[in-house]
Structures are given as structure tokens and as C-alpha cells.
């Protein structure tokens, strides 16, 4: 039992003892300084404020320092009434020390300070009526000081990415009280407190921006005003703090020029020429010290003055965007259905009628003919049959349709040339109207498909916004707090978690000329604090801002290789491809084979591959992207225009592979040493309105291989490709792609040449 008892009590380490002694020494020193802060020429309330606001663990040392400060008062007003207040507050805090929430409540501490100072002032009141307001003001200032000191200890004691506006004000007002006590220390009219105050303003502005600089300047100016400073000096403090923050993104020299200018202008404007020399001397000395402070030291001090970063709270905006997207999607869907209905009705109304061709032939050629009644009444059936034979000849491109009329009609008709001309004219007009109406109907159909496709895109985006991402700003704040410890101050932060549970952190940092950002250090720091495995972050500088983006480390990466052989050694290839990361954790490959070879095929293939890639990069779904692509190719020209679409999407976190094909050649996959293929029975894009992808899903692992190819590579089947993959013993994807493309060219046995494209992707461990 003795051994257990002795081993359970751990002795304090020397370092811990040293830190505790240092804190108590600083606490005693601050208590002494605050007790000598003179306001309104004869009052010393801030030593009481410091005792009341100090935490219980530092109370003894703070009380000792304040006791000696009041025992030897800085003015002749006497410090013994303050000693009475000191012992009263000390007794109250020790008596209720077990009530943790009460003893740390700034409002409660402010109240007992107010009562203690007020009653001791009443007991020692000298009876002069003009001093009543001064005593009341002293009690209020002492009470406010206790509140600020307590809030400052709370703010600086917690680990956070920065201070809120309230916390900044409390910290700087507490520092103002300390500086007021240092102001009594002066050499030939140069105040130590004033010099330290200007240095702190410059540091706050440099590392905390406009907010910290302005709050520091105003806080110090207020205390300077009530402690008897000149008007020009405290106005210079307030203005200098704000402008130093404005110029914080520039060099230190810009800040000191602004501060010295502020003190000079205010001193001259208020006619305070006697204080001009001392103010300029204090400002110059402070600026010189500020320039001499190393960046690392300044950054560590500046950590206490940084403002709380803005946290993205997109909930309200997110709901608004989702609602607008759904409304727009439904509106476009209604437009699409309306276009289809109107198109159907217009087709009924405007469709050319062949009976009008027959009546037009009679009207153009038979008016005034003596045999008109005989031909169009007695022999109408035979006459119409002869006209139909002549229209067929016109349809085939014959310029003399009368030679194709029936023999009976040739022998009967006395106006055969006129009838032939009328047939040619009327049927040509009918054919033109029919072609125009068909084209218009195609345009209406394409427009309807475009509206329908865009409607589906907007609906997909709404679903993504609503379900796919959750904003976890607690992680962003943890990361900001951690970066603050390595001297990186975050202005804005946000963190998103997608539907797969993967986190993305986005931070905005103010650029500092002297600062060097270590990406590896950032990665280790943020990964540790967020307990997630992040990749090396991307760092982008835009103006005076630095944007840092962290994405979780993927399980896999892809070695990609592509080889193309143009048909007939042509300069243009009818196959087009692209591959990219979609910023959602997937690696995407797109391959398109335009119809035929040469320039026309190259245009179709490039259009299909490029448009599909852009839509997928923008975050749209596969099906709606194909719909937009198909309608675009239908509308591209009056001639037939088509291209295959082959897409492979690999999730780098899970290894899930999606294969999507529209008329594309087979894809060969090697998994765990075994090969297989995925084929397509769907149509290419650009033929019919309603086409879709053939889809397949696979689970891939390290060292698995994906081979995508165009029709030219698969002309002799895929068995030989599977055999090549089974015999593949490792190497680079580019070398594999080139080898397969050369083999495909040599194996082709027919006389028809086609473009050959091989895309090889080897999955590797990230």
C-alpha cells in the first residue's frame, strides 16, 4: 500500500515550477503597475479592478503586488482606502472560491468591485460636494475594469483561432489600464507607457488588421484621456491605430509613416507645440522598436491580437439556392413539355398536303382546255395515276417528267408539256415545304431536349446542394486555431463534408510579405487537429489574400497513358479524348470516336469529347450531360453528325469504377490478374433524340488496369488485348498504350483504315 501511495503522487517537474513562478511574478508586477494607474489626477481604482478580475490561482501574487502599489501610492490622495477595498474583495473571493461559476462570472466580480470602492469612498469622503461625481465615476471605472480584466483572462486562456470583437475590446482596455500605470515612469518627459502603447498598436494592426488596430487605438486613447493626456496625443492614438490597420497589408515602413504623420498632424492642429516634440519622440522610439522586433517574435505577440475568423454559415443561402434551382428546373421542364405540345399542333396545321399538288397541276396546266372535264372527271383516276408517275420522276431528279407518264395519258393529253412543267413546279414546292417543315420540327425537338436537359442539370445541382454536402465549421475553427499557433492568422474559414464523408477545408489568409508558407507543415498541423488524413494543400495567392484548400488524402492515384495513330497517316484524328480530376474525388476519362475519318470525324469527336468533359467538370450528371450533347449534335448541321461517347469514372477513395457507353467500343479491364470486357449496345450521340448510356460498375484495386479504345483498335476483337494484359508484368501506362496501339495497327486485316486510340490507366496506391 505504501508503494502504491507513493507512486501515485507525481512530483512537479522543474519546468512546471518555473512556469508557475513566472506567472505569479508577472501577476504581482501587473498588480503593482495597475495600482499606480492615476486617473482624474488623484484616483487609483485599477489595482482593485485587477485583483477582482484576476483568476483565483493568481490571486495571492496579484494581491501582494497591488498591496505594495497602494502602500506607496503614486499620488498624495492616500492609498489606505484602496487597501480596505482590496482586503474586502480578497475576502469575498476566498470565501466563495468553491463556487466556480460565480467566482468566474465577470458581472458578479464587477458588482462586488463597485460596492467595495463605493463604500470605502463614502467612509473616507471629505465632504466637498464637487468630489461626489468623481467618487461615483471612480467606482464605475473600477467596476468596468474588473469586468474587462476577467473577460481578458478568459479570452486569452482558451485555445481559439482568434478573438471576437468584444474580447478584443476587453483585452485592449485591460492593456490600457496597465499602460496607464506605466505612464508614470518617464525620463525627461518621455513616457514608457506611451511608447509601449504605440508599439502594441502597431503590432495589433500588423497582425490583426483594421479591427485590432482600431480597437487598440480607441482603447488606449480613452485611458489616455481620463488619465490627463493631451487632446492631440489621444486623438493621434485613435487615428494612428485605425490607419495602421488599413496599411497593415503593406510593409512595416508604411505603418510607421502613417503613425508618425498622425501624431504630427494632430499636435499641429490642436496647437500643442509644446507636446509636439515629446509626442514625436515617443512615436519615433516606438516605431524604431517595432522595426527591430523579429517577425517570429512579432507574430507570437500578434497572436493575442488577431480577430476571430469569419465562418461561412451557408444554411440560409443553401436553402435559398436549392429552392431557386428547383423552381428554375420545373419552369424549364414546363417549357420543354409546352414546346412539344405546340410542335405537335403546328405539325398538324402546317404539314404540306399532297392533294394540293394534284389540284395545283390541274389549275396551272388545264385551265381553258377543252378536254379538262373529260380528263379530271371521266378519266380522273388515270390522270392522277399519270401525275403520280411524273412526280416520282421529279423526286428522282429527272428534268423531263413527261416521258415517265403512262402511254394512255400521253395519247390523250393535248397539253403534255404544260402538265409536265406544272408537275415539276408543284412537286418541287411540295418537297421544299416538306423538308423545311421537317427541319423546323427537328429544331423544335432539339430545343425541347435542350430545355429538358438543362432542367435535369438544375435538378441534379439542387440534389447535390441539399444532400451531398454538410458544413462542419467546428473543424474549420479547430484548423484556424492550430494555424494560429504557427503564426498563420485565418480571416475566413469553412469546411464541407460530402455524401461520402470526405472533408474539404477552405481558409483565407491575409498575405504578408515576409511570411513563407510551408505546405508540409500546414498539412501535418491540420491533419493532426482534425484527425483526418489530408493531402498537401493547394495555396493560391489572389491580390492580398491567400486561399488554402485542404482535401482528404485519396487511397488511389492513376498512371494514365494515351496513344493515337491516325488513319492513312492523316494529320487529323477522328478520335478525341480527355481525362481530369472532377474535384469530387474521382478521376474521369472520356473518349469519343467521330463518324468516319479525317476532318469531319475530328470535328464530331472533338465536340463530343470536349462538351461532355466540360459538363462533367462543372458538376453535372452523366445522363443529363449526354442529353445536352446529343441534342447539340442533332442541331449541329443538316447532315448526319454522330460520335460515340465512352466514359470511365474511378472513385480514388473507394476504387469504384463506373463505365458508361453510348455506341462505344468495348473497354477491357484487368482485375486481380484476370481480364474482362464491358460492351455497349446503345446508339452513338447525334442519331436519335432519346438515347442513353449502357452502364456497368466494378470494384478496382491497386495494380488493376483499365483499357479504353476506339473502334479502330477493336476491329480484330479484344481477345488479343486481354492476352496482352494478362502477360503484362508491370511498367508505365504510356508505354502500355503505345504497345497496344502498334499491335492494333499491325493486326488489322481488312483494307479499311480507321483511327486508333488507346487510353491505358493503371491504378496505384496513393
Each residue of 158-192: pLDDT tens digit?
666 677 778 888 888 888 888 888 887 777 778 88
Question: Given pLDDT bands bounded at 50, 70 and 90, which one contains residue 474?
Answer: confident
45 CB neighbour count, 10 Å cutoff: 28
Q: Does position 347 have pLDDT exceeding 50, yes or no?
A: yes
Model confidence, pTM:
0.55
The whole-number average pLDDT for the span 615-638 is 72
pLDDT of residue 6: 42
Average pLDDT, the chain: 79
Helices 192-226 & 252-269, crossing angle to 10 degrees? 50
CB 550 within 8 A of CB 535: yes
DSSP-based three-state secondary structure for 297: helix
Each residue of 98-125: pLDDT tens digit?
888 888 888 998 999 898 888 887 766 5
Phi, psi (degrees; rounded to nearest 5) at 667: -110, 130
3-state helix, strand, coil in the chain (%, to 5): 60, 15, 25
Task: Give the whole-angstrom CA distance, residue 343 versus residue 636.
Answer: 20
pLDDT of residue 312: 63
Beta strands at 186-187 and 190-191: parallel, antiparallel or unpaired = antiparallel
The whole-number average pLDDT for the span 499-504 is 77
Q: What is the 3-state secondary structure (H, E, C) of 556-597?
A: EEEEEEEEEECHHHCCCCCEEEEEEECCCCEEEEEEEEECCC
pLDDT of residue 657: 92
Q: What's the length of the chain?
A: 766
Amino acid at each position: 500500500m505504501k508503494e502504491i501511495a507513493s507512486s501515485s503522487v507525481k512530483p512537479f517537474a522543474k519546468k512546471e515550477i518555473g512556469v508557475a513562478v513566472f506567472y505569479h511574478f508577472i501577476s504581482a508586477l501587473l498588480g503593482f503597475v495597475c495600482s499606480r494607474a492615476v486617473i482624474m489626477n488623484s484616483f487609483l481604482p485599477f489595482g482593485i479592478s485587477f485583483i477582482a478580475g484576476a483568476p483565483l490561482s493568481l490571486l495571492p501574487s496579484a494581491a501582494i503586488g497591488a498591496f505594495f502599489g497602494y502602500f506607496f501610492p503614486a499620488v498624495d490622495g492616500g492609498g489606505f482606502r484602496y487597501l480596505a477595498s482590496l482586503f474586502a474583495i480578497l475576502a469575498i473571493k476566498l470565501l466563495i472560491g468553491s463556487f466556480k461559476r460565480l467566482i468566474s462570472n465577470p458581472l458578479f466580480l464587477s458588482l462586488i468591485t463597485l460596492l467595495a470602492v463605493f463604500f470605502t469612498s463614502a467612509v473616507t469622503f471629505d465632504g466637498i460636494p464637487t468630489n461626489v461625481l468623481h467618487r461615483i465615476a471612480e467606482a464605475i471605472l473600477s467596476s468596468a475594469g474588473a469586468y474587462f480584466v476577467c473577460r481578458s483572462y478568459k479570452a486569452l486562456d482558451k485555445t481559439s483561432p482568434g478573438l471576437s470583437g468584444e474580447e478584443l475590446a476587453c483585452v485592449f482596455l485591460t492593456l490600457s489600464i496597465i499602460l496607464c500605470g506605466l505612464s508614470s515612469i518617464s525620463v525627461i518627459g518621455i513616457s514608457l507607457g506611451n511608447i509601449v502603447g504605440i508599439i502594441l498598436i502597431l503590432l495589433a494592426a500588423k497582425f490583426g488588421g483594421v479591427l485590432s488596430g482600431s480597437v487598440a487605438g480607441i482603447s488606449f486613447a480613452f485611458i489616455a484621456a481620463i488619465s490627463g493626456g493631451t487632446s492631440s496625443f489621444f486623438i493621434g492614438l485613435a487615428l494612428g491605430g485605425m490607419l495602421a490597420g488599413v496599411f497593415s497589408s503593406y510593409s512595416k515602413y508604411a505603418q510607421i509613416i502613417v503613425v508618425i504623420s498622425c501624431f504630427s498632424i494632430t499636435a499641429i492642429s490642436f496647437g500643442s507645440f509644446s507636446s509636439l516634440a515629446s509626442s514625436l519622440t515617443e512615436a519615433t522610439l516606438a516605431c524604431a522598436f517595432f522595426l527591430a522586433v523579429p517577425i517570429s517574435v512579432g507574430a507570437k505577440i500578434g497572436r493575442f491580437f488577431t480577430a476571430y475568423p469569419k465562418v461561412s454559415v451557408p444554411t440560409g443561402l443553401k436553402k435559398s439556392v436549392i429552392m431557386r434551382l428547383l423552381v428554375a428546373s420545373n419552369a424549364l421542364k414546363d417549357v420543354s413539355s409546352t414546346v412539344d405540345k405546340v410542335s405537335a399542333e403546328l405539325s398538324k396545321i402546317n404539314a404540306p398536303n399532297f392533294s394540293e399538288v394534284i389540284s395545283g397541276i390541274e389549275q396551272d396546266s388545264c385551265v381553258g382546255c377543252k378536254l379538262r372535264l373529260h380528263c379530271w372527271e371521266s378519266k380522273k383516276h388515270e390522270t392522277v395515276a399519270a401525275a403520280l408517275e411524273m412526280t416520282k420522276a421529279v423526286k428522282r431528279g429527272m428534268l423531263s417528267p413527261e416521258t415517265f407518264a403512262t402511254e394512255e395519258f400521253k395519247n390523250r393529253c393535248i397539253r403534255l408539256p404544260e402538265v409536265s412543267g406544272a408537275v415539276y413546279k408543284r412537286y418541287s414546292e411540295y418537297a421544299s415545304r416538306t423538308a423545311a417543315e421537317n427541319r423546323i420540327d427537328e429544331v423544335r425537338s432539339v430545343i425541347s431536349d435542350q430545355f429538358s436537359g438543362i432542367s435535369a442539370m438544375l435538378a441534379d445541382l439542387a440534389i447535390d446542394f441539399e444532400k451531398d454536402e454538410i458544413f462542419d465549421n467546428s473543424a474549420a475553427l479547430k484548423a484556424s486555431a492550430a494555424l494560429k499557433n504557427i503564426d498563420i492568422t485565418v480571416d475566413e474559414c469553412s469546411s464541407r463534408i460530402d455524401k461520402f464523408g470526405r472533408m474539404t477545408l477552405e481558409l483565407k489568409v491575409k498575405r504578408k510579405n515576409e511570411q513563407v508558407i510551408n505546405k508540409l507543415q500546414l498539412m501535418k498541423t491540420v491533419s493532426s487537429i482534425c484527425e483526418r488524413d489530408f493531402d498537401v494543400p493547394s495555396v493560391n495567392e489572389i491580390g492580398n489574400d491567400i486561399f488554402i484548400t485542404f482535401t482528404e488524402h485519396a487511397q488511389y492515384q492513376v498512371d494514365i497513358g494515351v496513344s493515337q495513330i491516325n488513319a492513312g497517316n492523316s494529320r487529323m484524328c477522328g478520335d478525341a479524348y480527355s481525362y481530369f480530376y472532377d474535384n469530387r474525388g474521382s478521376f474521369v476519362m472520356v473518349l469519343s470516336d467521330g463518324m468516319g475519318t479525317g476532318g469531319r470525324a475530328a470535328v464530331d469527336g472533338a465536340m463530343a469529347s470536349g462538351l461532355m468533359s466540360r459538363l462533367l467538370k462543372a458538376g453535372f450528371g452523366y445522363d443529363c450531360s449526354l442529353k445536352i450533347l446529343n441534342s447539340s449534335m442533332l442541331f449541329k448541321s443538316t447532315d448526319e453528325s454522330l460520335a460515340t461517347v465512352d466514359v470511365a469514372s474511378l472513385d480514388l477513395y473507394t476504387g469504384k469504377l463506373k463505365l458508361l457507353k453510348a455506341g462505344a467500343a468495348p473497354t477491357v479491364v484487368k482485375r486481380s490478374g484476370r481480364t474482362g470486357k464491358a460492351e455497349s449496345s446503345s446508339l452513338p450521340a447525334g442519331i436519335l433524340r432519346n438515347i442513353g448510356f449502357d452502364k456497368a460498375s466494378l470494384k478496382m484495386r491497386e495494380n488493376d488496369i483499365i483499357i479504353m479504345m476506339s473502334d479502330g483498335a477493336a476491329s480484330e476483337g479484344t481477345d488479343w488485348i486481354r492476352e496482352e494484359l494478362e502477360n503484362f508484368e508491370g511498367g508505365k501506362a504510356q508505354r502500355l498504350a503505345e504497345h497496344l496501339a502498334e499491335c492494333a495497327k499491325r493486326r488489322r486485316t481488312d483494307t479499311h483504315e480507321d483511327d486508333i486510340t488507346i487510353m491505358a490507366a493503371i491504378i496505384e496506391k496513393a
